[in-house]
Amino acid sequence: MNKAITVSNITKSYPGVLANSNVSLEVSEGSIHAIVGENGAGKSTLMKILYGMVKPDDGSISIFEKITQLSSPKDAIDSGLGMVHQHFMLADNLSVLESVILGIDNATLKNINLRRYKSEIMEVINKYNLNINLDKTIDELGVGEKQRVEILKVLFRGAKILILDEPTAVLVPQEVEELFNNLRDLKDNGVTIIFISHKLDEVLEIADEISVMRGGVMVNTVDSENISKKELAEMMIGKSLPKPPERQSSVGDLKILSVENLSASNDDGKDIFNDITFDLQSSEILGIAGVEGNGQRELVEAIIGIQEYNSGSIRLKDEIIDDLGIRERLGLGISFIPEDRQAQALIMDMTLTNNIILGRQSLKKYKTKLTTVNLSNATTASESVIGNFDVKTPNANTIATALSGGNQQKYVVGRELEDNPTLLIASQPTRGIDIGAQALIWEKLRSTRDDGLGVILISADLEELIGLSDRIVVIYQGNFVAELKPDEITPEILGSYMTGLRK
Amino acid sequence: MDDLINFFKKKYVIIAPLLIIIFIAQNEQYSQLTSSGTFGSALRLSIPILLAGLGGLFSERTGVVNIGLEGMMIMGTWFGAWGGFMYGPWGGVLFGLIGGGLFGLIHAIATVSFQVDHIVSGVAINILAVGAARFFNILAFDGIAFASSTASPRIEGEVGKFNLPFLTGGTLNGNETSNILGDLENANIFLISDISGLLVGLTSNISYFTIIALLLVPISVYVLWRTPIGLQMRSVGEYPSGSESLGVNVYLMKYIGVIISGCLAGLAGAYLVLEGPNVYLQGQTGGRGFIGLASLLFGNYRPLGVLMGAGLFGFADALQLRSEEAIHGLLIAVALFLFVLTINNLSKRNFKVSTGTFITGLFFLVWYLNSTSVPIQFIYFTPHLTTLVVLSFSKQKFRMPKKVGVAYKKGELN
Amino acid sequence: MKLRLRLVSLSAPLIALMLAVSLTSLILLGIGKDPIETFRMMFEYGSTGKSIVSVLNRTTPLYISAVAVAVGFKMGLFNIGVEGQYLLGALLAAAIGTSFAISRPIHIFFIMLIAVVASSLWAAIAGYLKVYKGIHEVISTIMLNYIGTGLIAYLLSNIFFDKDEKNAIPQTVELPESGRLPALNNLFGIEDLPNLHGFLPITILLGLIYYLLIWKTTLGYDLRVTGANPIAARFSGVDPKRLTIIAMIISGGFAGLVGMGPLLGYFHQYTIDFPPGLGFAGIGVALLGRNHPVGMFLGAILFGFLERSAQILDLRGVPKEIETMMSAFILLIVVVFYEIIRRYILTQQIKDASKKIGEN
């Protein structure tokens, strides 16, 4: 069979990191080829090189058996490559049609022939069964639909090779199934697909061939028919896959938090969440499962006081906290790990020590007599977090930007656990970080829970949710639709509740 | 009929003031409120704001906040005066455009290539423009009669003007035609005369510069929404990394947007000179660049919206210039409008707001009844106060470009 | 931060100054003047004793204005309205300050208090409009400047003017002796020079207060955090609405003191030529000094010096407006270089950190 892509001996190094070392890869035309590896294995760098975004130090690339120089995404597009990024490259304010044709015409003052484009695009949509409405604006679309727009974008540009970077990270199992059906349609029409992932089940299901990367090196390429998940995992990380440790549930009897009939609506009067009632005990991790945008984010933000609610009541231990501001609630012992550490939990160009005060401004120990900021206590606390959470940093006076994502996250988790909180709200606590940091955070969450902490956990990683939680509630369109026992369910079952297929 | 009521309910914030003003204008004393003269000067005063607002539109749609509009407009006034003095009025138009564009280029270099905070750069440009205009003026007009450090000599000649044939007495093939609208305005019929006044003001004795400025509204719509370059420019303001991944030259688009922005602001400055006193004066712009920016907000980042906003601010400006009496009439208009708001809020059981509007309304009513005119110093800031009031009341959801004001560095995907 | 990086960060204003001097020289050459001779004249004139006193007198209000702007800048709030705020505060302080006479320190304190209250209330309007009406503070403060100017003109010519004065120029009644701040010349033994105005020590104290406020209090921490990352600040319990209004009030409070040096020191009344433009100039100084108390002081002195020393130029046939150009060049170049150097330092810090982590 002809080769769609041949990568020969690519090497790329960054200061202090060898991202790709002598990497070679062959992808057959019309196949689905997966590349697996954990974060930092060098997959993204390889893809950026393929897509002309990064120039390799050494090595060559052939596309359809022709040596090709790729010095910009435009070169890659011209030679038939198309990339679907993990973060959608879509502008909310543009229409689907505009998003698809953006950049196809040269930047001139000629009239855009919208009607002609529309019929041409409809042909592509029909050919691959894509189910997209061209007249909507992007912000009206759901996640799966946005992804289809991304695929349409590259197909319409005549891509014969499709690179998908972690395409399932944002999807629930049912959407994944729909995506896979689309991918099979594409393959049947002769499109070559490169599928980057670290989810081995999915890779085994969809891929014809699988290449494994580890530490910047291409470890092996195997046929997906002839390999088991376990073997694949061992190739990928050199040992077996991490999973949250086994549950030993020991829920306490002290009521930490009780939420009663909580409802909130947005400015247009549309419900965000509706009549939510639940309790949280000490030494309990309550998982909230839901597809993004179903109200779970707003619900936890209501608990810390960011989201306003129209009715209902929140009680922390014995105290009703409805009338308290965010700072007062945090002062009562609520800790919060927001989903986006860089945007929400850290001041990136401040030092770690300055960051430890963030969210703890009202805490006595960070103040002196004249209500000034007490930097010496902050330094002590900061150093203790660095030590306890194995944060890799030169010292406590390093600015947060200088740390890797995993270390930033460990520092945030450490800070939120530093002052013996009563309640911890953890939103996506291990998203996008390396396996080592993930394991450490899991262990810390678990051990502080054992010490009596009540935890509310939100995670898109359903394995994590099931593995860590003592109890799981499912939120769908702003309502709690199910309460489940983690040891009785699988991600697939959970997914069907989350998408409203099962009630 | 129901449709009409619904339409009124939805748009009463715009319709009610208009009706009130027309009603008050029936009183001889306040007839200036809707005279063709007022609308004529409203149009002339709207154009600089419109041009500045469109300038802001091009810049902000590509994601660059342009507080420097005022400075670019100042450059437009000086270069417009200089070009006009050297090469006649159309030379003034051209050089005004170039002068503003040059400062647009500076803003683009600072914000796009060097990622300086947009507002910081804009503030610096405004400071630079004041100094530069003064300096250039001294250099260029040293020793020329009637020039000083703060004023240029007079520009001879003017940009041509014309009237519409038949409607406002324009000429056709050299023959004078009837002036239907003018006659209607003078007939003093309720509403009809007022609307005729509006139309006469907008269509008689119009300069070609004004026509060009007005044409820029549909041209902006076409460029931004109907052409590939416009699509690329808008996409860059929304999600630059996405655009770059599709081969759009992000920096180039931002440069184009900001330079066009400067050019339009420069035109606005030239207009102030050429359709005004025919000289450059220090401080001539009087914050109109900022009012242009306000009209952009008011117009929700759309050309037609900007036109409406500019028209409103121009109207306030015109009243300020034309008639102290008319401004006095506005007091009662404001009072009546506040009472309308009071009733509306009462019907929504919003008692706190309705009490506030009622008391403020009473204040204006008492002021109106106990005075015969508004102090001249207050009249001076009517447009600025109007800007704040209008922005306070236009509580619509702004749909601003998503990444406006955010620095973008090439190759930063995310 | 390492010493090396600290030195690099100090280089930006020096580079800007050098580039601005070069650009100005080019312009001077272009209009046929000798740049070296021009700068020599400026320096010679600017460094006389008389000039130094004048520069210091000029520096004090400029510095306070910069501080007022900087309070806002620290939380990402652009108070462009210091101009209107200080003028309005000065007018009210001058007008009300004449209506009573008590012992000097108390009298002066009350005059300052009136100015602070008036200016901060005026600034609070912009805070209110931002928080509750969503109007960007740049727009609102600029509009309030125009409104303030009209209001001042009205108050001065209709309400607060000196009724005994036959003169047509509207002005307030002069402050009594107890409301005037004595000059400092005796203190420094420079009786032979023009008056060194008494507000200088208060200015230095204000700089110190500013420093403590921003870097040593929780409020200051909240301001800095909000300026750096408003979302994270909100998650940390900062109420952005409240903080915006507080910041505007504090900024306006400092603004109120801008006019006090001139008022208490030498004008002793508010007239139509009460020095304008200090508010706008303060923005430049704050940008040049990067909101740092010492940096802004140096910036104020630099601008004060340039302005003073340019006075000689017109007499020697060089347009003194060359100074306005030069100040503007400095400003524009410095904001660009601060950004370049900020990025350079950031990448250096990241590199240093990853190197050190690698070593461990």
Is residue A248 in some structural domain? Answer: no
Kindly state whether A74 is in contact with chain B, defined as any CB-CB distance less than 8 angstroms: yes
Q: Where are the alpha helices (DSSP H) in A282-404?
A: 296-304, 326-331, 352-356, 375-388
If asked whether residues B125 and B249 sit together in one domain, one would say: yes
Task: Confirm whether B28 is domain-assigned.
Answer: yes
Whether C138 and chain B come into contact, CB under 8 Å, resolves to yes
What's the domain range around C113?
58-294
User: Among B239, B266, B288, where does a domain finish?
Assistant: B288
Looking at the structure, tell me whether residues B265 and B142 fall in a common domain: yes
For the segment C48-63, the average pLDDT, to the nearest whole number, is 93
ipTM value for the complex = 0.89
Q: Which of B288, B308, B338 is the last residue of a domain?
A: B288
Find the CB nearest C322 among B67, B135, B297: B135
- C150 domain residue, yes or no: yes
- Statement to judge: residues C137 and C81 lie in one domain: yes
Could you list the beta-strand ranges (E) of A206-333.
209-214, 217-223, 255-265, 271-281, 285-289, 311-316, 319-320
What is the three-class DSSP state of A451?
Answer: coil
**Would you state the pLDDT for residue C129?**
94
Tens of pLDDT along C128-187?
Answer: 999 998 888 988 998 999 999 999 999 998 888 777 766 667 888 889 888 898 888 888
Indicate whether A96 and A196 sit together in one domain: yes
A436 within some domain: yes
B264 close to B58: Cβ distance less than 8 angstroms: yes
In-domain check, residue C27: no
pLDDT tens readout for residues C306-341: 999 999 988 888 888 888 888 888 988 998 999 899
Q: Smallest CA–CA separation between B217 and chain C, in Å?
A: 23
pLDDT 10s digits, A321-346: 999 999 999 999 999 999 889 899 99
Same domain, C231 and C330: no
**How far is Cα of residue A244 from the mean position of the Cα atoms in its chain?**
18
Task: Provide, as residue numbers in chain B, all residues whose Cβ is less than 8 Å from the Cβ of C347.
Answer: none
Pair (B59, B26) in one structural domain? no
Task: Identify the three-state secondary structure at position B400.
Answer: coil
**B neighbours by CB contacts (3+ pairs under 8 Å):** A, C
Same domain (yes/no): A318, A366: no
Calpha distance B262→B106 (Å, rounded): 10
- CA-CA distance, A409 to B173, in Å (whole number)? 79
Q: What percent of chain C has pLDDT over 70?
A: 98
Mean pLDDT of B308-327: 79
Neighbours of chain A (3+ CB pairs under 8 A): B, C
Least confident of A15-19, B279-283, C145-149: A15-19
The Cα–Cα gap between A54 and C195 comes to: 65
Domain assignment present for B186: no
Token digits of residue C21: 């001097």
B80 and B213 together in one domain: yes
Chain A within 8 Å of C239 (Cβ-Cβ)? yes
Same domain, A416 and A304: no
What's the total number of domains in chain A?
Answer: 3
Is C290 domain-assigned?
yes
Nearest CB partner across the interface for A350, out of C228, C351, C357: C228
Residue C49 lies in a domain: no
Q: Confidence class of residue B281 from pLDDT cuts 50, 70 and 90?
A: very high
User: How many Cβ atoms sit within 10 Å of the Cβ of residue A485?
Assistant: 12
pLDDT tens sequence across C239-274? 999 999 999 999 999 999 999 999 999 899 999 889
Domain count, chain B: 2
More confident residue, B165 or C129: C129
What is the arithmetic mean of pLDDT over C22-37? 90
Final residue belonging to a domain, choices A237, A264, A285: A237
Q: How many domains does chain C have?
A: 2
Instruction: Identify whether B327 is part of a domain.
Output: yes
pTM of the model: 0.86
> Residue A437: is it exposed, middle or buried by C-beta count within 10 angstroms (0-12/13-18/19+)?
buried
The domain boundary residue, chosen from A393, A420, A447: A420
Question: Does one domain contain both B260 and B382?
Answer: no
Answer whether C272 touches B (CB < 8 Å). no
Do C213 and C332 have their domain in common?
Answer: no
Question: C148 and C246, same structural domain?
Answer: yes
Q: Does C228 touch chain B (CB under 8 A)?
A: no
Do C209 and C96 share a structural domain?
A: yes
Does the pLDDT value for residue B411 go beyond 90? Answer: no
Specify if B348 maps to a domain: yes
Which residues in chain B have Cβ-Cβ distances shorter than 8 Å to C283? 123, 127
Q: Is the pLDDT of residue B396 over 70?
A: no
User: For residue A470, what is the domain's CATH number?
Assistant: 3.40.50.300
Residue C16 lies in a domain: no
Burial class (CB in 10 A: 0-12, 13-18, 19+), A371: exposed
> In this structure, are B241 and B215 located in the same domain?
yes
Domain endpoint, select from A402, A420, A438: A420
Residues B30 and B57 in one domain: no
Residue B117 lies in a domain: yes
Question: A interface mutation test: which of B239, B408, B409, B412 has the most A CBs within 10 A?
Answer: B239
Find the closest chain A residue to B401 by CA distance: A93
Residues 34-93 of C with CB under 8 A from B: 78, 80
Residue B181 placed within a domain: no
Are C350 and A326 in contact (CB < 8 Å)? no
C347 in the same domain as C256: no
Do A155 and A179 lie in a common domain? Answer: yes
Confidence of residue B413 (pLDDT cuts 50, 70, 90): very low
Residue with tokens 């619509």: B396
- Mutation target for C interface from B120, B387, B392, B397: give the one with most C CBs within 10 A: B120
Which segment of A384-398, B106-120, B187-201 scores lowest on mean pLDDT?
A: B187-201
Q: Examine the pLDDT at C115 and tell me if it is beyond 90.
A: yes
Question: Is residue A242 domain-resident?
Answer: no
| C170 and C213 inside one domain | yes
Q: Is residue A434 part of a domain?
A: yes
Q: Is B140 in the same domain as B80?
A: yes
- Domain span including residue B89: 52-152+207-220+228-288
Q: Do A92 and B402 touch (CB under 8 A)?
A: yes
Instruction: Answer yes or no: do C99 and C209 share one domain.
Output: yes
A150-159 exposure pattern, b = at least 16 Cβ within 10 A, e = fewer: bbbbbbbbeb
B134 and B246 in a single domain? The answer is yes
Residues C265 and C317 occupy one common structural domain: no
Q: Based on the domain organization, do B136 and B246 belong to the same domain? A: yes
A391 with A434, same domain: the answer is no
Residue B312 scores a pLDDT above 90: no
| B97 domain residue, yes or no | yes
Banded pLDDT at B145 (limits 50, 70, 90): confident
Domain hosting A361: range is: 343-420
Check if B228 contacts A (Cβ < 8 Å): yes
Position B179 in a domain: no
